[in-house]
Amino acid sequence: MISLPHHLPLVRVGSNCLAVCDDDWLEDKILDAAEGTDLPQWKVEAISKGVYRFLSKSYKGTVIESDELIALIARLLESTGLGHVAARIDNSPPTVRISLSDLARRAGSTHDLAFFQLLEDKCREVLESGASSVICSGMERCIATLRSNRRWNMSDESLQQEIESRIDEFRYMGELNSPVFNVAVAVE
């Protein structure tokens, strides 16, 4: 049995990226669409709870396509007489996460080149998916895996700077495609 975060299906972004769908993202998505309209806050919360309940209780799959999820939210808004809000729904998917530690584990210890190739492939995949928000996590564990050492040293710092440099290149490429593209490195 698969345990899904928040009991919600994962959201497929593009062909190979998965994002976590959570109730805060659902509510923010509807709040953003309702901004500047007559839709009261309580109704936004009720609608987002309805979508949450449907996904957690009635949706049969473990993964939902990003476009399908956005369409579901829009249909729910339209069915409650809020077509003007549905028309304003932004179709950007939830935040995509890149686990640096998972990439390092796949590359194997002391295989920096393989890691950087995997990172580049994953970044390209995310850019092609249309995601606009990305979080890279697991930096310390990534470096520990690649260096196979227990104590931090100068070569670890150098590797971290190289990884951050590659993530900055990824951020720059994303910003060329979309001015709202955002990449963050999660602090652990």
Mode of pairing for the β-strands spanning 96-99 and 63-65: unpaired
Q: Are 145 and 106 in contact, with CB atoms under 8 Å apart?
A: no
Tell me the H-state helices in the chain: 23-34, 41-53, 66-79, 83-86, 100-107, 112-129, 139-147, 154-177
Q: Are 52 and 44 in contact, with CB atoms under 8 Å apart?
A: no
Residues 6+ apart with CB under 8 A from 105: 145
Residues 42, 31: Cα–Cα separation, whole Å = 11
Q: Count the alpha carbons within 13 Å of 92 in the hemisphere toward its beta carbon.
A: 21
Give, for all 188 residues of the chain, the pLDDT tens digit: 454 556 788 899 887 788 888 888 888 888 999 888 888 888 888 888 888 888 888 888 889 999 999 998 899 889 888 899 999 998 888 889 899 999 999 998 767 889 999 999 998 888 888 888 899 999 998 988 888 876 777 888 899 999 999 999 999 988 888 878 888 888 76
58, 74, 187, 88: which is closest to 135 by C-alpha?
A: 187
107, 54, 47, 108: which is closest to 82 by C-alpha?
A: 47
Look at residue 1 in the predicted model and tell me its pLDDT: 41
Tens of pLDDT, residues 52-107? 888 888 888 889 999 999 998 899 889 888 899 999 998 888 889 899 999 999 99
Q: What share of the chain is helix, strand, coil (3-state, %, to 5)?
A: 60, 10, 30
Query: In sequence order, what are the beta bridge partners of 99?
Result: 137
Q: Where are the domains of the chain?
A: 5-86, 96-185
Hey, what are 159's tokens? 């590797």
